[in-house]
Amino acid sequence: MRTATEADAAARRPDRGTIYVIAPVHNRRALTERFVRCLLAQEDDGFRLVLVDDGSTDGTAEAVRGLLPGATILRGNGRWWWAGSLQRARRWLRDQPSQPDDLVLLANDDTTFEPDFLRAARASMAREPRSLLLAQPTSLLSGESPGLGIAVNWRRLSFKPAYRPEDIDCFSTRGLFLTRRAFDELGGFHTILLPHYLSDYEYTIRASRRGYALRSDPTVRLEMDESTTGIRAHDYQSVGAYLRSVFTIRATKNPIYWTSFVVLTSPRRLLVRNVGRVWKRFVKGLVRAARADPASA
């Protein structure tokens, strides 16, 4: 581990590596423009934006090109989703020349950050390169911290915010820094099994099990807009409405993807039990919807 003085010196070197900012986007032009303006205000300008525009029709890519002509824009067809977008960026990055100090930032465009964001992250990563660093978030809605990461109770298949570093079991990818070497070593994303939600938890659990520390740093902070996230509530007005609200890629409780997640991550001794928990929760919701369905009256 480098000392703070050595890390700060490395971060100031003129030959320091590039921070590749990978940002998947889709039809959120105003949010994406705000995100890019935060990048343009950075004290550390040694970054390259890799914008993965997955089928936007609102002029997002053109707006970004106008603000940051040097950005790399990878265009999708609207069916890449989160994991597919990161996978495309990973393939692109593997063809680019590298330096030992290159970093990767996996970022959401619904985040904002101060001008020292990249500089602080570079210094922090230089001190502990074999780690994944999640920027400490503050909610734009409440002004409060939603936690440093996620704590997992595998016996109950429950997830809650972790407020102590030692309780962190996995991370989101909303402001996640890692070395480019780690990005190569950890492998790709499960674009079919986990196309959107839970892909970040699986990825960071995988990293932790391969010996990478999951950590945060109070000097690396951002604000997150939770109002822009996917479908978290189910529609229990009828069986059909319930099924439509559950079996979509944007649903955070989709039992198909939860099953994939459990198979990929659960301790083996709890695998069958946890798969059962996933489908028990689904059936419980289905029964509730059936009782409320006018067609069953």
Residue 170's pLDDT is 97
Residues 93, 99: Cα–Cα separation, whole Å = 12
User: Which residue ranges make up each domain of the chain?
Assistant: 4-228, 239-296
Residues 48, 71: Cα–Cα separation, whole Å = 6
Residues 275, 11: Cα–Cα separation, whole Å = 45
- Answer positive or negative: Cα dihedral of 45, 46, 47, 48: positive
Q: Which CATH architecture has domain 4-228?
A: Alpha-Beta Complex (3.90)
pLDDT 10s digits, 80-111 = 999 999 999 999 999 999 999 999 999 999 99
Q: Which helix (H) or strand (E) holds 207?
A: helix 199-209
| C-alpha of 248 from chain center | 19
Q: Is the pLDDT of residue 12 over 70?
A: no
For 148-177, give one letter per residue: b (16+ CB within 10 A) or e: bbbbbebeebeeeebeeeeebbbbbbbbbb
pLDDT 10s digits, 164-210 = 999 999 999 999 999 999 999 999 999 999 999 999 999 999 999 99
Residue 227's pLDDT is 66
Residue 230's pLDDT is 52
What DSSP line would sit under 110-164, residue for residue? TEE--TTHHHHHHHHHHH--SEEEEPEEEETTTSS---SEEEEETTTTEEEEE-S
